[in-house]
Structure 1
């Protein structure tokens, strides 16, 4: 028997306040060390009740954007020093094009580093069932047309899970959120990965054979494709801007 659920609003008022304040911190309208306006003033500015503001500020605090000082207001923090990996998803949804492109570059480089080491660890730590799942996930690339159907995501989830490193898995989750925030560009950058240009079967075979060095090398080749694709994309954008100037 299904439990009874109440209807869920498309976006709560506090969500909207949170997003506005988050973006104001990320784009520098509130600099580190500054204080947010008082709760009453924010409620008036957003035309919402103070409870919505309070909930939004609580989320900002949990995400590492601000610190609530009792009797001293709400202080904006330097998110580079206080936020966690979830900041990647926030940054991907906010800000101007150039900073967002740099963030995507940083994320792809992190993806490559994690993937290489995860593949190395999977080759030494994975049990027989995990190795079999990785081989099966690689086989899904046969005849694949390169579209974003989750084939690549499923493969790397198996590799990272087989590395038995929770920090890698949580990092992968954050990277996935950032990728989902920019689907158009990421479809372009991940096209070679998704079309299996550098065969994932080769990596699966190396992990199954328990060869950590070969696994790391092949993983680097696969994951380096998106970094190279972003470099090409950045050069094309720069040329277009030059011609239109």
Structure 2
């Protein structure tokens, strides 16, 4: 068998990506045994240390499981993998496309943001509420450049998510805004209706400060939903 062309730098990373793609694409279906280390080493023309490192990453991503008998079996990633898997699959040759992942991430952003606004209204301190109002005021004088508004929007939402007191929401927010999941790749034009509505941002800050949790949740959901495409956005690449 002719070894596949694999660049020598970060060999284990490349091998991990290839095996991940095979799992996502179904070439290695759930329940199937992972190809033996010696066979993978021969197929890719790499040493077994690189193979072991790649397999270790697959296990950490909960894409495979080492059974009691020593066999390594492929798991159903839709049932076992976590959000961290999104840090690479947008560029995979198989599995969800970048456009699909972007849409899905924007939908998750609506759910996290709406409930974070509700919890923030219930839980945040008066000082935190004041900071949110001040940040909304600063947002009001930004723009109309969408990139500038987007940066201000992230800073404002961070205060709201922090004010919710929910660590899981905060970690999800970090993943969304740093590009670990591809919401950060959404084109500014897609989010224009949301970002340019300064009045809604100010009103949401007021609702949080007034402790009107249900109204804050409804407005946050409506505002964030404007950036969610009805179909996967073709412009995202």
Equivalences for 1:184-195 in 2 at 5 Å? Answer: 185-195=186-196
Q: TM-score, normalised by structure 2?
A: 0.82
User: After the TM superposition, which of the residue ranges 190-199 and 50-59 deviates more from structure 2?
Assistant: 190-199
The partner residue of 2:103 within 85, 99, 105 is 105
Q: How far is 1:101 from its partner? A: 3.1
Distance 2:196 2:93 in 1: 31
> What residue number does 1:5 align with?
none
Secondary structure of 1:231 counterpart: coil
The partner residue of 2:43 within 42, 45, 48 is 45
Equivalences for 1:92-171 in 2 at 5 Å? Answer: 92-95=90-93, 99-141=97-139, 142-144=141-143, 145-147=145-147, 150-171=151-172
> What residue number does 2:230 align with?
231
> What residue number does 1:69 align with?
67
> What residue number does 2:3 align with?
none
Distance 2:10 2:199 in 1: 44
Distance 1:24 1:96, change over 3 A: closer
Q: TM-score, normalised by structure 1?
A: 0.80
Distance 1:232 1:78, change over 3 A: closer
What per-residue deviation string (whole Å, max 9, x for no partner) do you get for residues 105-145 of structure 1?
Answer: 33222211111111001001001222122223323322321
> What residue number does 2:5 align with?
none
Could you tell me whether the CA contact under 8 Å between 1:146 and 1:192 is conserved in 2? no
User: After the TM superposition, which of the residue ranges 145-154 and 120-129 deviates more from structure 2?
Assistant: 145-154
> What residue number does 1:24 align with?
22
Could you tell me whether the CA contact under 8 Å between 1:151 and 1:194 is conserved in 2? no
> CA RMSD for the aligned pairs?
2.6
Could you tell me whether the CA contact under 8 Å between 2:146 and 2:192 is conserved in 1? yes
Secondary structure of 2:170 counterpart: helix
Could you tell me whether the CA contact under 8 Å between 2:21 and 2:95 is conserved in 1? no
Distance 1:187 1:33 in 2: 41
> What residue number does 2:11 align with?
13
Distance 1:46 1:151, change over 3 A: farther
Distance 1:206 1:22 in 2: 45
> What residue number does 1:33 align with?
31
Distance 1:56 1:150 in 2: 36
User: After the TM superposition, which of the residue ranges 159-168 and 65-74 deviates more from structure 2?
Assistant: 65-74
> What residue number does 1:213 align with?
214
Secondary structure of 1:218 counterpart: helix
Q: How far is 1:20 from its partner? A: 1.6
User: After the TM superposition, which of the residue ranges 167-176 and 96-105 deviates more from structure 2?
Assistant: 96-105
Q: More relative contact order in 1 or in 2 (CA 8 Å, sep 6+)? A: 2
Secondary structure of 1:190 counterpart: helix
